[in-house]
């Protein structure tokens, strides 16, 4: 065996590469024949019971803002409907004076009621514009 010329691949290396290629092709073809399908079928559909929404009768909470009688809200709303700014201001002052007693009884003061009266008063124009 002579010295191979520059740039050529020796014959044993060529044979080894050729056999390796043939082995890869055989493994690939054998895997295709023996391996089964490549695609995975989706699972069969399952029956899902229909969901129904039961009608629930809702009742208002027993107290307005969790501490006032609903009649107070009706009273404030009636004052707003009559555009009675003086009476709304009077109710605001009474709520301010009752702050300590309400806070002692319920743990929070009358800020929520004061805010409601203020918003209603502002909406009907008691503060100008």
45-96, pLDDT tens digit by residue?
A: 887 776 776 677 788 788 888 889 999 999 999 999 999 999 999 999 999 9
Nearest to 112 by CA among 126, 98, 127: 98
Is residue 110 in a domain? Answer: yes
Residue 11 lies in a domain: no
User: What DSSP assignment string belongs to 86-119?
Assistant: HHHHHHHHHHHHTHHHHHHHHSS-SHHHHHHHHH
15 domain-assigned = no
Domain that holds residue 89: 70-123
Does residue 86 lie in a domain region? Answer: yes
pTM for this predicted structure = 0.53
| Domain assignment present for 40 | no
Q: How many domains does the chain have?
A: 1
Q: Is residue 18 part of a domain?
A: no
Is residue 5 very low, low, confident or very high in pLDDT (cuts 50, 70, 90)? low
Q: Is the residue at 7 inside a domain?
A: no
- 61 within some domain: no
């Amino acid at each position: 065996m002579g010295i191979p010329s520059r740039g050529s691949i020796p014959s044993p290396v060529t044979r080894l590469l050729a056999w390796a290629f043939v082995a890869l092709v055989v493994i690939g073809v054998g895997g295709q024949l023996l391996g089964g399908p490549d695609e995975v079928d989706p699972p069969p559909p399952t029956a899902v019971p229909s969901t129904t929404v039961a009608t629930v009768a809702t009742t208002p909470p027993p107290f307005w803002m969790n501490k006032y009688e609903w009649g107070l809200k009706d009273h404030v709303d009636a004052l707003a409907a009559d555009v009675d700014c003086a009476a709304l201001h009077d109710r605001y002052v009474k709520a301010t004076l009752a702050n300590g007693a309400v806070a002692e009884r319920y743990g929070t003061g009358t800020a929520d009621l004061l805010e409601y009266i203020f918003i209603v008063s502002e909406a009907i124009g008691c503060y100008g514009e």
